[in-house]
Structure 1
């Protein structure tokens, strides 16, 4: 199977593209992103794709403008328009995480501006293997082991089932060059030590197929996590009373669910309220307090979400709501309950 055939198989398997889309391609100038742009440019006529490239200059190296100029010349050679976005990276905390956040924000803004339905990123099977191994070393759970998703919202990763060595062979055959980022050799970053030291040692000492095995582990974990999410979504629809400002869940039914399912129900309920996507650790902390014996008598907050146990029911609300008050029920008639966003 050729590299192009493998990429097309990945695109179809994960429903990344249907054909006819406008795609923004993230191009750092490294081998993976150059191969991504080259492959998509080759496939564009058959798939009816309209391509636009973006290079993000993080301003972390004195010679970073060189990479931007390289990507511009590459775009001219392939006939693809190129934009360059210069971002400011917060130097507090994790530099890698801050650079990633700034990069993805720039990609989203550019995609909106050029009308791109998809954003293509150059992650490979090697990145997936490195991520899975890194998560094992960090003690991640099943969700962490799922690694890099092939598709998330409008982000797609057409090279996620391709090995880096095959991409480099393709570039050499096509006569395309790339640039090397010195930070990818810096041993202070755990991923670089895994890439250049640990994985090569495991490949030589344990099995030459170790990277493929890690990719399979990530795929199995991702399938399990997907099933968990679907089950939790179904339980949320079955159990919840959802109003404008609150979500009500029956405590007994929540307690009867497997713990991971119950935690995911809480997380999805909070997301329904507009709190973004709370971390799974948030949901497990909330669940532990709710399932305590006796349950908490006072409302409590975890992040932006307020949780309150009232008799047999659990209420989740974004921010702070007024306390529940006793009311008489008119018969016949309607009883507004603004505290929970419902009308009886």
Structure 2
């Protein structure tokens, strides 16, 4: 069975893979839910690299329909001659459902990519997802890293559809006669993303997905430059003496001070995940020569900042 998208769409998809440095020897694991976005991804990938492709569906087992949806994708992949695996979490999803499901999903995809010798994992995030994400993070007051939104590549995870609009992907499926899976959670306005999507669809706003893509690419480049500069500064200004981490953050811009502070904290306690406002307060304490404790790290300010494991708390 061969269902070929048009040549323009295929050329754009190939260009996206080339920009992501996917070579002719790389194997690709496609994350396929059965929705129109991921089914369009599968169609494009099947035409581009048919002999180096594996499809994977994650069944979180959160809805009664999910097992049937995975079987639907499996049958579709059989008809296309694409190997397909259904992945289920080792433990039931609990707590923050969206966050826990996302963590479990990527862990399962990583494991499947290893098992099938796949260099990359492709997901079907597209331009409209990107616009929703940047607006959601702008509303939360995110900084440069957060506003760079959905990265085209994060480790071995790649997103070759970020230059495609949702409507284009829906049309690809319709032209191929595919009836995609309908996930009811995509209509649940209790989720922040769905609420943002509903607002974008119902409001006469000036935001465009293609312009948002240019903005996020520029912010991602700025973020990479800041990471590079932080790495260099850390090599010059952070040292370890007698079990105490010492940092000279004098005469550098505020954003780089903040990043050096985060680097010091994560060096002393790799598991620390402080919130932005906590970092702001700590930075003020250090700049004014005060001592503070955050998590399990003791921090002493002054001309040179000093970091060490905090003493055990008294019971």
Tell me the TM-score normalised to structure 2 length. 0.85
Cα RMSD after superposing both structures:
2.7
Structure 2 unmatched runs, 5+: 1-6
Q: Report if the CA contact (8 A) 1:264-1:283 is conserved.
A: no
Q: In structure 1, what is the Cα distance between the partners aligned to 2:188 and 2:301?
A: 54
Mapping of residues 137-216 of structure 1, within 5 Å: 137-195=139-197, 197-202=198-203, 205-207=204-206, 210-216=208-214
State the 1:310 CA deviation.
Answer: 7.9
Q: Which residue of 1 aligns with 2:48?
A: 43
Instruction: Establish whether residue 219 from structure 1 lines up as the match of residue 191 from structure 2.
Output: no
Aligned residue runs from structure 1 range 53-132, under 5 A: 53-87=55-89, 88-92=91-95, 94-132=96-134
Aligned length: 304
Asked if 1:7 is matched to 2:31, the reply is: no
Report how far residue 10 of structure 1 moved: 2.0
Spell out, residue by residue over 1:11-68, the C-alpha distance to the aligned partner (whole angstroms, 9 max, x if none).
22343x13311222111111111111221111105xxx62222111111111211111
Would the aligned equivalents of 1:267 and 1:280 in 2 still touch at CA under 8 Å?
Answer: no
Provide the rounded CA distance (Å) in 2 between the counterparts of 1:154 and 1:313. 38
Cα drift, residue 9 of structure 1: 2.0
Deviations 1:83-103 (A, max 9, x none): 1122245432x3211211121
Cα distance in 1 between the residues matched to 2:241 and 2:79: 55
**Which residue of 301, 305, 308 maps to 1:314?**
305
Contact 2:258 2:283 in 1 (8 A): yes
CA distance in 2, matches of 1:280, 1:231: 22
**Cα 1:201–1:100, aligned 2, differ >3 Å: closer, same or farther?**
same
Structure-1 residue corresponding to 2:233: 235
Unaligned residue ranges in structure 1 (runs of 5+): 323-344
Quick check: 1:89–1:98 contact (8 Å CA) kept in 2?
A: no
Hey, what's the Cα distance between the residues in 1 that align with 2:272 and 2:214?
Answer: 27
Q: Scaled by the length of structure 1, what TM-score is found? A: 0.79
Distance 1:236 1:211 in 2: 37
